[in-house]
Homo-oligomer: A and B are copies of this chain.
């Protein structure tokens, strides 16, 4: 079949280079090495792309899949550079871009009874590479409890609270564990979430959240302060969104370090 026309490799006369071309919504099983040394098995959704110079008509889409198939994907936070660098060679490209989004689990003890349960988080490794360097970001979605300071201050009893989600994106040097980033964010909310809470635990998190109300503004500011204190965080973007229990819309706030 070697004489089938290679339409993609035709020259292109339009004089327009393409920033990114590749595949999206590609599912593939992976292993992630967590802080405790365990290799977590999970399933990732990949987006993979490269630049395309103006003189080429098309990229070779099958090579993205081949690149992932070449070896089992088992990686740690220190190895985010490997897949984007592999794409540069595989697709003869100057720039490559990779997003690897997956559910990630942390075992937690509940705060009073010590009951063990797995909490799930969404992690996304986003990288852009060229020959000389790889720009890597970790993007975490961390669900939290937020109790409203205004509601508490003005009400004789109770305070509205709700689930919120913090989207925490960081660039970093040195090793940075997902577990530590999640811990940082959770310490800034009214309470962290748990998958398993017995009655004594529920009392604990209810009172803790009531005692530590945070606006969505407080939440992003507190995370920014703690992030500023960590020298290995070079850049961050913090977005918090509260699924307000008293409204059908959400409240949100964003801080980006520039």
Are A161 and B163 in contact, CB atoms less than 8 angstroms apart? no
Out of B21, B25, B62, B160, which one reaches A253, CB within 8 Å?
B21
A6 to chain B minimum Cβ distance, whole angstroms, is: 7
A7→B151 CA distance, assembly (Å): 9
Q: Is the CB of B198 within 8 A of A255?
A: no
Answer whether A5 and B154 are a contact pair too, CB < 8 Å, given A245-B162, A247-B194, A252-B21: yes
Q: Which of B19, B42, B145, B245 contacts A246 (CB 8 A)?
A: B145
In the complex, whether A79 has a CB less than 8 A from a CB of chain B is: no
Stretch at the interface among A127-135, A170-178, A210-218: A210-218
4 tightest Cβ-Cβ pairs between the two chains A and B: A158-B210, A41-B41, A1-B200, A27-B120
Q: Which of B59, B149, B205, B221 contacts A18 (CB 8 A)?
A: B221
- When the two chains form the complex, which single residue of B19, B20, B163, B198 contacts A162, counting CB atoms closer than 8 Å? B163
CB pairs A–B below 8 angstroms (7 shown): A4-B154, A14-B222, A19-B254, A21-B254, A26-B195, A158-B207, A194-B246
What is the 8 Å Cβ interface bit string for chain A, positions 63-77, against chain B (1 contact, 0 not)? 001100100000000
**A182 in contact (CB, < 8 A):** no
A108 CB to closest chain B CB, in angstroms? 11
Interface residues of A (CB under 8 A from B): 1, 4-8, 12, 14, 16-29, 40-43, 47, 49, 52, 57-59, 61-62, 65-66, 69, 103, 105, 112-113, 115-120, 143, 145, 147-151, 153-163, 191, 193-200, 202-203, 205-207, 209-211, 215-218, 220-222, 224-225, 241, 243-256
Whether A199 contacts B4 by the Cβ 8 Å rule is yes
B217 to A59, Cβ gap below 8 A?
yes
Name the residue on B nearest A243 (C-beta).
Answer: B163
Question: Which residues of the other chain, B, contact A18 by a CB distance below 8 angstroms?
Answer: 217, 220-221, 253-255
What is the minimal beta-carbon distance from A163 to any residue of chain B, in angstroms? 5
A245 in contact with B24 (CB, 8 Å): no
How many angstroms between the C-alpha atoms of A143 and B246 in the bound complex? Answer: 9
**Known: A119-B248, A249-B26. Is A52-B217 also a contact (CB below 8 A)?**
yes
* A69 proximity list for chain B (CB < 8 A): 116-118, 196
Please name all residues of chain B whose beta carbon is closer than 8 Å to the beta carbon of A202 when the two chains form the complex.
Answer: 148, 150-151, 154-155, 160, 246
Partner of A153, one of B5, B28, B218: B5
A3 CB to nearest B CB, Å: 10
- Hey, which chain B residues are within 8 Å of A103, CB to CB? 27, 43
